[in-house]
Amino acid sequence: MKRKSLKRLAFGLGAALTLTATAADDAGVPYPQVTDMIYQVVSADRSVYTRLVVERLTIDEEAITASEHFEDDVALPLPAQMFRFGAELVADETEDFSYSLLSLHPINKKNGPGTDLEQQGLQHALDNEEKFYGEEELGGQRYFTAVYPDFAVSEACVDCHNDHKDSPRTDIELGDVMGGVVIRIPMD
């Protein structure tokens, strides 16, 4: 049930972004610029959720907790989960673009690099702390793929990742690159 209302919210986001991508295409906006714009939106939304909802309610007000099993624990979804739910709903609504939050050290293995270019891009983001653009072919379709470094911006992120039993990396510090936001646009 909670998922339903989430779906409505994320649908709005997805629709807005679809519009952005389509408009960009018509105007002939270069791929890097489009992915930069998408990144701005998704990353801003997550920051707002992290600061105004999760950190405020869990740390400042101590009104509720945030949990991976938010339904069972009657808690808030973690910011990374909120980000992923949005990405899944966008994938459900459109094939014009897709995005995901990945890492070379993921807690859940399915969020590790899945393609050669993802591996390369995440490594580049980790090493140079800067974004990476590339092209790759997946399932017979050519994609423009951008990888944006994702920094550890709050204690909550760092603590959870360092403590989780499935985390391959336990020495993360604030400001470190923890992973990357990968955005893909099919090229035609």
Partner 1 sequence: MSRNAVIATLSTVGTLVAVGVVVVLMMVGGDRRALLIGATTDAHHQLELSCETCHAAPAFADPETAKSELNKTCQNCHEDALDDADDSHSRKRFRSPRMAAYWEKVDARYCTSCHVEHRPDITRASAVTVAMDFCVACHSEGEQDIRTTRPSHEGLSFDTCAGCHNYHDNRALYEDFLVRHAGQPWLKPEPVHALSAQYRAWKPPEESAVGPGGTMAPAAALADSTIVAHWAGSGHAAAGVTCASCHAPDVADDGPQRDVEAAWIDAPSTSVCRDCHRQEVRTFALGRHGMRQHPELAEPREPGQGLAKLGLDATLPETILASLSDPAPPTHMHAAEARLPMRTDAPTEPLNCGTCHDSHAVDIEHAAVAACAACHDDAHTQAYFGSPHHALWLKEQAGEAALGTGVSCATCHMVKGKRRGKVTTNHNQNDSLRPNEKMIRPVCLDCHGLAFSLDSLADTDLVSRNFTGRPAVHVESIEWAIQRAEPPDAGR
Task: List residues near partner 1 by CB under 8 A.
Answer: 1, 3-4, 7, 67-69, 71-72, 87-89, 91-92, 95, 98, 100, 109-110, 112, 114-115, 118, 138-139, 141, 143, 160, 163-166, 182, 184, 186
- Residue 95: CB minimum distance to partner 1, A: 7
Cβ 28 to partner 1 shortest distance, Å: 23
Closer residue to partner 1, CB minimum distance, 1 or 27: 1
**In this structure, what token pair is assigned to residue 182?**
């990968």
Least distance to partner 1, CB of residue 59, Å: 15
Side by side, the strands of the sheet bearing 141-151 are 98-102, 177-186, 141-151, 132-138
Ordered alpha helix ranges (H), 28-131: 31-48, 79-93, 116-128
Whichever of 115 and 123 has its CB closer to partner 1, that residue is 115
Smallest distance, Å, CB 65 to partner 1? 9
Q: Which is nearer to partner 1, 26 or 110 (CB)?
A: 110
CB of 136 vs partner 1, minimal distance in Å: 9
User: In terms of CB distance, is 113 or 149 closer to partner 1?
Assistant: 113
Indicate the residue among 27 and 140 with the shorter CB distance to partner 1.
Answer: 140
Taking phi over 0 as left and psi of -120 to 50 as alpha, with beta for the rest, 129 belongs to left
CA angle 175, 180, 184 (to 5 degrees): 155
Residues 150/151/154/159 CA torsion (nearest 10 deg): 90
- Tell me how far apart the alpha carbons of residues 151 and 173 are, in angstroms, rounded to a whole number: 10
Place of tokens 């423009």: 144
Neighbours of 167 (CB within 10 A): 16
